[in-house]
Amino acid sequence: MKKNLLILVALSVAALPFIVSCEKKDPEKPAGGVIVMQDPPTKAAAVKIEFPSQDLPKYLEKNTGGLYEVISVEFTESQRAVMKRRVLEVPTKLAVGDIETIVLSFTENSGTYSIPGFGSVTVSGIGSDIVVLVNPEGNEGYRSTNAKVTDTPDPTAQDQKNANRNWKIDNMTITVSGSASFSHDFSGCDLNEIAKYAQDKGVNIDPNDYVGYQVREFIFTGNNTFVINFTGDDIPAIAGTYKINESGKTISFSLPEGNKFFSGSINGSYEYPADKKMNLTLNASIKGYTGSMDFYMSQN
């Protein structure tokens, strides 16, 4: 019987993002104890575009042969284009009608977002006169005056300002107790490697279910979007939401039901031990196991 996640990893992925310091000693903090990180590079250009459901831009992706329609795209504070799309013709293991999230990079100049591997999106006008042009490479262009364009909010809480960027897991520690017990450090976050180790320690899990699932980064935005981005081009990202409680130094995550890793909500605590560093500790019980996950991450 398969576990919904890696049992431990399920917890870890949901908890994902924040543990960052590789040192155990308390880091030095500036006067007042609040770390203020420099704004990420594309904060001023961060927007979310949602296309009208009755008129979605379509494009053929040359490298996969898949035909898609774009539901929305969020240009983040840290040069990532988080695109939600629906499959119209199957390129690989996806089914027609499936909705997936992919992550691409972008640069912005005067309202034009250039996206390598896709094409460009241009936003012009203000208020009710906004026009969105989508020009996928090798495809017919698209024009909409009905797309919803929303500037990404700039949060007042400094902790969320710090969070809203890309984070790379340098290493992580997973501790599990129950019918199988262990504590182990991992470099990065390769779910297949973690599953193999857990299986060797007696956890009922099949590592083959996680081949290629190596986490590239975690993405946080001012829209409270949270994305798990993988290294494999054929593995869609997982997109959900997150919320920070600055006064209590707690954080919660919600991922959609039915994804391979963690479905539902999970809570944790966080801290910023140093500039461009984030720490998160997550404790949870699931399917007879009690575990704690520590993630050590740096700004990507």
Tokens describing residue 199: 């299986």
Residues 245, 200 within the same domain: yes
> Residues in the chain with pLDDT < 50?
1-28, 31
Query: Domain check: are 138 and 51 in the same one?
Result: yes
Handedness of CA 154, 155, 161, 167 (dihedral sign): negative
CA distances, 93 to each of 96, 175, 266 (Å): 10, 34, 29
Q: What is the pLDDT of residues 151-178, one digit of tens each?
A: 999 999 999 999 999 999 999 999 988 8
> How confident is the model at residue 29, as a pLDDT?
56
Residue 142 and residue 77 in one domain: yes
What would the two tokens of residue 245 be?
């409680």
Residue with tokens 């461009």: 276
Q: Does 103 share its domain with 188? A: no
Q: Give 44's DSSP letter.
A: G
In a shared domain, residues 24 and 111: no
Domain boundary residue among 106, 131, 151? 151
**Domain shared by 52 and 32, yes or no:** no
| Per-residue pLDDT at 262 | 64
Which long-range contacts does 175-182 make (Cβ < 8 Å, 24+ apart)? 175/291, 175/292, 175/293, 176/7, 176/8, 176/201, 176/203, 176/289, 176/290, 176/291, 177/289, 177/290, 177/291, 178/288, 178/289, 178/290, 179/288, 179/289, 180/289
Which domain-ending residue is among 151, 178, 193? 151
pTM exceeding 0.95: no
Q: Are residues 106 and 140 in the same domain?
A: yes
Distant-in-sequence, close-in-space partners of 123: CB < 8 Å, separation ≥ 6: 47, 49, 111, 113, 130, 131, 132, 149
Residue numbers of the domain that contains 89: 47-151
Compute φ and ψ for 162, nearest 5 degrees. Answer: -65, -35
For residue 175, the domain's CATH number is: 2.40.128.280
Output the CA angle 191-73-59, nearest 5 degrees. Answer: 95
Number of domains in the chain: 2
